[in-house]
Amino acid sequence: MHSIDLNADLGEHPGTERDEQIMPFITSCNIACGGHIGDRNSVRDTIQLAKQYGVSVGAHPSYPDKENFGRQKMDISPKRLKESLEKQVFLVAEICTEEQINLHHVKPHGALYNVAARDEEISKLILEVIKTTCPSAAWMGLASSISESVAKKANFPFIAEGFADRQYEPDGSLRSRTTAGAVLAEESILNQVEELVLHKRTATDMGWIEMQIQSICLHGDTDGAITLAKKIRKRLESKGVQIATI
Report the candidate in 109, 113, 135, 131 with the shortest Cα–Cα distance to residue 122: 113
pLDDT tens for each residue of 146-191: 999 999 999 999 999 999 999 999 999 999 999 999 999 999 999 9
Is pTM, for the whole model, over 0.75?
yes
The domains of the chain, with CATH numbers, are: 3-243 (3.20.20.370)
Tens digit of pLDDT at every position of the chain (246 positions): 689 999 999 999 888 899 999 999 999 999 999 999 999 999 999 999 999 999 999 999 999 999 999 999 999 999 999 999 999 999 999 999 999 999 999 999 999 999 999 999 999 999 999 999 999 999 999 999 999 999 999 999 999 999 999 999 999 999 999 999 999 999 999 999 999 999 999 999 999 999 999 999 988 777 788 999 999 999 999 999 999 999
**Residue 112 contacts by C-beta under 8 Å, 6 or more apart in sequence?**
35, 61, 62, 63, 70, 122, 126
What is the pLDDT at residue 16? 86
